[in-house]
Amino acid sequence: MIYPKREGIDPRDWLKQANFPSNWKELDLQRWIADRLRSQGYDLKEGVWMDLPGGGKGQADIVLYYDGKPWQVLEIKKLINREGVLLGTNQARAYTKVLGATEQPLLIGLAPWSEKEYWSGKNAINLSAHNQVGIIYLNEDERWFPSPVPGETVAQTQVERGDNFINQCKPLIYQLINSLLSSCCNLINQGLNKLTWKQKAIAIITLCFISFLLSWSQGSKVFNSFSENTIESNCKCP
């Protein structure tokens, strides 16, 4: 059977990027989400117990508070498969009603990596009262991707290494251009008429090479106004 293309990143890659252990549990996911929300300034409590209508007790995984009052219930499931959807949405609605939370509850978890299990969960969402409970797949919502994103970290590192390499090469390139300009300008100051054809050829080749270096340096923004200052200080042509 051919399944539609999924969104986001593979849930197993998400777990690796978030540094989860291989034997991770639902509680690990709950703590990760709670820590993420705390870092964003949310007031919350984990594992909030309550008495349920008709007897028994229930425990909301995460409850967000606003002005000291329950604001939103977050029900965490390891995987949002069919079982997770049916159980999680019922729990989220019940806990929201008991606590008197004003915001729509959320069911949060990872998408199953099995295609059959994944789409079975999707169908369960469509059949359940999903309009009363928001569903968040952590690996499909960019707001919940582990940060920093590895691709960005690698790119930033490569840019930093490139900048460091250029900075390290600056003194050597400065010295090379300065030496070439000094030699060339000395020959020019002696007078072109007094030069042999070999000296003229060397001067022309040197000037072409310097022109190439200066063009490259200006394109890479390494030298800024170095070329003008160097020419003025070395070439005092009559």
Token pair, residue 121, equals: 């969960």
Omega within 30 of 0 (cis) for the link into 105: no
What is the pLDDT tens value at each position of the chain, 238 positions in all?
Answer: 566 778 899 999 999 999 999 999 999 999 999 999 999 999 999 999 999 998 899 999 999 999 999 999 999 999 999 999 889 999 999 999 999 999 999 999 999 988 888 888 888 877 665 558 999 999 999 999 997 544 443 334 444 555 555 566 666 766 766 676 676 666 666 665 666 777 777 777 777 777 676 666 555 444 444 444 444 444 444 3
Reported pTM? 0.60
How do the domains of the chain map onto residue ranges?
Answer: 11-147, 151-234
Instruction: Confirm or reject CATH 3.30.930.10 for domain 11-147, answering yes or no.
Output: no
